Structure 1
Amino acid sequence: MSTHKSDPSHREAGEALSGRRPSKRLGDGVYNTLLNELLSGAIEPGSRIMIDRLSRTLGVSQSPIREALLRLEAQGLVTKTHLVGYRAAERMSRRQFEELYEMRLLLEPFAANRCAQLAADSQLEELERMTEDMKRESGHDSYASFARQDAAFHEFIAACGGNSLVQDSLSALHGHLHLFRLRFNTQGTNEALREHEQILAALKARNHERAESLMKSHISNSRERLLDAFEDGQSSAAPGPRDEGAGRP
């Protein structure tokens, strides 16, 4: 049985999504709504996702919901089982967490190095705007919003580096990560922001070696900040099926 919770925001989403908009924008709206609910925990890890219920709740047909779920499945944020349907991905295990950060340490310093060398001035201005937006959001209660902006910051750096495989890989990794870090303290968020500002300064100075070094330190520090969640027992067990049809992230 789904643990999908009714919320006033669903009605607002339905009103927005049911308007006369191009189909691509409608699909993006449904995708963003589901992504937000996965990140916020409104759709709990391992819970079944009922397409017909979402259709009624959001006030849209099943087609854009299925399209959104396909995108989320490609990112590993939901899983699909034959004759059962979709479920939210389970929480990641300690081993998966460590493997994720090993990959981030391989890819993101390289991406920062490339960005410092190849990014257009307009792209660096966009990164600066994104950093300012995150600073404004950091005092708010919703960590899901900050998490999306943080992912966008890192993925934009990868995009500036011009390697689409690196960019796609990081997008999938960040999706897994944000399902885990649903709760985060303000101090840790502020530390991450300071590190972002240092990385941005190196990028603007076109100092590719410093940008690479700062990104490596930032990813290592991020790992240490989030490791406390495992010590608190939030994700101590390896993920596995809770009942028929549950899947792994």
Structure 2
Amino acid sequence: MTVAPSKLERTYSLLRGRILEGVYGPGHRLVIDALARELGVSQMPVREAIRRLEAEGWVAYVRNQGFQVAPIDAASWTEATATLAVLEGYATALAAPHITAGDLARMAELNARMLAAIEELDVLEISKANQAFHQVIYDRCPNGHLRRELETIQERLNTLRSSIFMFIPTRGRASLAEHEALMERIERGADPIAIEMVAREHKMHTVAAYQQRLNDEETS
């Protein structure tokens, strides 16, 4: 039996979107019959969509538990974020001369959204505002190849981003302060190397906080 491509594609896109947005976080169980009822489709397109997501690495099958959103792999996350730090630092230095007053106003607005979400303990909204902040910078990077590489890595990390803010509650406010420091340097036209280092350190601070939290858990 084959599934109509349109129905399969819609189901796949919806499930993938929920994973990328953090609605379904790492470890979230994907129960085929429950999803089929929720989406108003048969089990076939749900099953095929989940298999496709599994092949792409978004979903994992756990014995005696079934399908679930792929869990956090600490080593892979650390490597990907460290790579992102280098690329994003360079991209930010390239983007800085092209960032307009309107862009800076948008970034300030996103910081305000992020602060409100922090105060509401809404980790999903913190993640969305944080991602949108960095997307403003990406959009101004004149190097298209670099921009695509950044977005590919970001997409992979998006499934974990809200979990990171939950795992490290203090990281939200620290990240917000680092955003403001970066904006200040961009606004005053600081040296590109200085801007690159601030942007790179911003990401590496997240890596350091994550590793510290893991170490604390191991020794507790």
In 1: Cα distance, 2:177 partner to 2:93 partner: 19
Change (3 A) 1:216 1:182: closer
Of residues 104, 128, 147 in structure 2, which corresponds to 1:124? 104
Of residues 140, 155, 171 in structure 2, which corresponds to 1:172? 155
- For structure 1, which segment, 61-70 or 112-121, has the greater mean C-alpha deviation from structure 2 after superposition? 61-70
CA shift, 1:215, in A, is: 0.9
CA shift, 1:63, in A, is: 9.7
In 1: Cα distance, 2:79 partner to 2:149 partner: 16
In 1: Cα distance, 2:130 partner to 2:115 partner: 11
Partner of 1:198: 181
Q: Would you say 1:37 and 2:23 are equivalent positions?
A: yes
Change (3 A) 1:224 1:123: same
Change (3 A) 1:168 1:101: closer
Segments of structure 2 that go 5 or more residues without pairing to the other structure are 1-8
Change (3 A) 1:60 1:230: same
Aligned pairs, number: 202
Contact 2:123 2:162 in 1 (8 A): no
Structure having the larger proportion of residues in helix: 2
Overall identity of the aligned pairs, in %: 21
Partner of 1:57: 38
1:78-101 residue CA offsets vs partner (Å, 9 max, x unmatched)? 358xxxx954112213x2233123
CA shift, 1:55, in A, is: 2.9
CA shift, 1:168, in A, is: 2.0
CA shift, 1:66, in A, is: 8.2
CA shift, 1:52, in A, is: 3.9
Query: What TM-score results when the alignment is normalised by the length of structure 2?
Result: 0.71
In 2: Cα distance, 1:71 partner to 1:210 partner: 43
Contact 2:59 2:70 in 1 (8 A): yes
Change (3 A) 1:180 1:137: closer
Change (3 A) 1:138 1:227: same
Matched residue SS, 1:38: coil
Query: What TM-score results when the alignment is normalised by the length of structure 1?
Result: 0.64
Q: Would you say 1:96 and 2:82 are equivalent positions?
A: no
- Which letter maps to 1:138? I
